[in-house]
Amino acid sequence: MGAKPHIIADEQVPFLEGISKKHARITRIPGHLIDNQVLKKADALLVRTRTICSAGLLKDSRISFIGSPTIGTDHIDMEYCAKTGIVVANAPGCNSGAVMQYVFTALVAWAGNNAEELKSKTLGIVGVGNIGKKVAALASRLGIRTILNDPPRAEAEGPEGFSDLGLLLEQSDIITMHVPLTPLTQNMVQSHFLSSMKQSACFINTSRGDVVDEDALRKAAPQLGGIILDVWQGEPHINPATLEVCNIATPHIAGYSLEGKRNATEQVVRAMASHFGWNDLQNYSVTLPPAGYVPSDLLFTQCFPIFEQDKQLRKTPEQFEQIRNAYVYRREWTQEQYSQLTLCLPKKTF
């Protein structure tokens, strides 16, 4: 490609410093200000899930590449992109370690506050892809029984090792959602799903807000033993009534680790380098500083002080997006730390 492409990038997408002026011109813009007019003279677009890449946004532009350093593409009109020849790249699995860390940090915090013994619990995992597999692996390592539900994988690999959803709901003490948002999973968690759960079971959602019917969740709350939400219907304008029934509530930051963001940007920039013929960026990589030392008995609390985020969101829920954007990316557990994880429960903090 002769002329240097013009890239419009959400200002919250990190680690783009390796794309120099010899490669492209980059204009950084707040995600909510990216509109059709802005894209008129752009060749590529780097967005987060907040920017809905619809036909209306993209029409009459010269965009040939959309990169989204996110695990999903439900915010992108993939049919329109295919029809108009726009290449789309995302980053599946980029933050799987971060979300796994969130799930267990939240569970240890919930268990500590409710005098629960996690090793006696059965963990039901709905969706066993990049994230669900890591959640299952750590649960197994910590001695927690798991039940796995993933119909596409069961169909492709055979039913052994997988359970139907009804049995999972009936037997699980904790249910964690790790499904993509599709027409089949939208409002998947509704009144029948919730009434089929065990009494006093804990429910966790870190997938997409629209997977859950929040009206049904609020009605079911008195029968549940805990509700942990990181994703919400109507983000960033969340329902305070849903916030009220949560034991732990955070502003869609389960995947917000430095490693996850690094992984995502690397994947998307490599795809963009291939698209624009930047041979020197085909193996684009970002070096992170070493993670600090954390004692093994504090790995579930010090690495990610989850109640700080909970308290901040409860104090100013109307500032959901500002809190999310200001979040300082945490560090994931190193391999050495992961091998030292034990179920040390904190004292009641909430």
- Token reading at 253: 């930051």
The verdict on whether 145 is a catalytic residue reads: no
Q: How far apart are CA 163 and CA 144, in angstroms?
A: 17
Question: Which is the catalytic residue, given 25, 48, 145, 235?
Answer: 235
Q: How far apart are CA 182 and CA 149, in angstroms?
A: 16
Question: Which is the catalytic residue, given 178, 208, 270, 330?
Answer: 208
Torsion of CA 48, 321, 307, 134, to 10 degrees: -10
Task: Tell the burial category of 79 from Cβ atoms under 10 Å away from its Cβ (0-12, 13-18, 19+).
Answer: exposed
- The answer to whether residues 198 and 172 touch, using CB atoms and an 8 Å cutoff, is yes
The verdict on whether 32 is a catalytic residue reads: no
- Token reading at 259: 């490693």
Q: What angle do CA 141, 146, 149 make, to 5 degrees?
A: 130
The verdict on whether 235 is a catalytic residue reads: yes
- The answer to whether residues 217 and 227 touch, using CB atoms and an 8 Å cutoff, is yes
Tokens 């008129």 identify what position? 40
For residues 94-129, one letter each, b for 16 or more C-beta atoms within 10 angstroms of the residue's C-beta and e for the rest, the string is bbbbbbbbbbbbbbbbbbbbeebebeebbbbbbbbb
Task: Please state the φ and ψ torsions of residue 245, each to the nearest 5 degrees.
Answer: -90, 0
Q: How far apart are CA 348 and CA 208, in angstroms?
A: 29
- The answer to whether residues 164 and 149 touch, using CB atoms and an 8 Å cutoff, is yes
Task: Tell the burial category of 72 from Cβ atoms under 10 Å away from its Cβ (0-12, 13-18, 19+).
Answer: middle
Question: Which is the catalytic residue, given 23, 50, 178, 252?
Answer: 252
Q: Which sequence positions are flagged as catalytic?
A: 208, 235, 252
